[in-house]
Amino acid sequence: MRFKKQKRHRKAVRFYTTCFGFREPFKVLCDGTFVHHLLSNQILPADAALAKVLGGRVKVFTTRCVLLELKALGPSYSKAFEAASNLSTARCDHEIRKHAVTCIMEVIGKSNAEHFFVATQDTDLKKQLQEIPGVPLIFGLRNALFMEQPTALERQFVKSSEEKRSHISEVELNLLQKVTKDDEEETEITNEDGDLVGKNSEMQVLEKKKKKRGNLNDLKDRPQFKRKKTKGPNPLSCLKKKKKVDPNQHPVSEKADDNTTKRTRKRKRARKTKTTAETGAT
């Protein structure tokens, strides 16, 4: 049962968020009867209990007229008055205290522009609010909180608003007619007999097109972006090609290579000069 209840609440919240623009943190406007019900059934804290129902962050509000009404009811509602005074007050602009039902109806208005969830135990207030599309209602039943499902009037209102969006308005229709007329004037290059128009008429058409599109010379001043061309691979990152070795060729020993490469140097002996003694003997 608890899972089914949460699923119904999620569907209702999704309906109001998508169709009427409700967003987190959700604003909940409470009257005196709902605050009294929370205290008598120990549904505390109120913001945490409401957050479970709506599945998101919550801000709880009340009005000045509701506070004054709770204060006037006497000591039996003193705890409810103290609890309600801790809530943030919604602007009602009533200098003289009014009945809580009329005050809340004026705060909601005709379209609920502030996107309030209304929490109440008053049946008369519920009936009046159900006639206004886009006003979700929350009520308490013993020690649990419930959210009412969207009414048939609200679903019909959403369907009619979607149909209006799909159709073209009169302003958009007039704009389309103007655009089509301008296009027809540009395409009319031939005369009534079907012959081609002279050079003068062609020049006039070209001038009109230039005025609408702007001077072509202004295009030179605009930044021109070069297209990126595909570049080759980085030569530094490429490996050098390995030489292919023929399998038929016999490997030559390193020693043989060394012998071939070495040069044979002949040592030249220096001739000794004949001494003076030998020369004298001869």
Q: What is the CA radius of gyration of the chain?
A: 48
Helix (H, G, I), strand (E, B) or coil at 250: coil
Entry pTM: 0.60
The DSSP line for 182-245 is: HHHHHH--B-TTSPBP-HHHHHHHHHHHHHHH--TTHHHHS---PPPPPP---TTTSPPPPPPP
Place of tokens 């000794």: 272
**Alpha carbons 44 and 41: distance in angstroms, whole number:** 9
Q: How buried is residue 26: exposed, middle or buried, by Cβ count under 10 Å (0-12/13-18/19+)?
A: buried
User: The domain 1-159: what is its CATH number?
Assistant: 3.40.50.1010
Question: pLDDT (tens digit, 0 to 9) for every residue of the chain, 282 residues total?
Answer: 578 888 999 999 999 999 999 999 999 999 999 999 999 999 989 999 999 999 999 999 999 999 999 999 999 999 999 999 999 999 888 888 899 999 999 999 999 999 999 999 999 999 999 999 999 999 999 899 999 999 999 999 988 888 777 766 677 777 777 777 766 666 665 444 445 445 556 666 667 666 655 554 554 445 555 667 777 788 777 777 777 766 666 555 544 455 555 556 666 666 655 544 454 444
Q: How far is Cα 57 from Cα 51, in angstroms, rounded to an integer?
A: 6
* Domains of the chain by residue range: 1-159
**β-strands 137-141, 58-63: how paired?**
unpaired
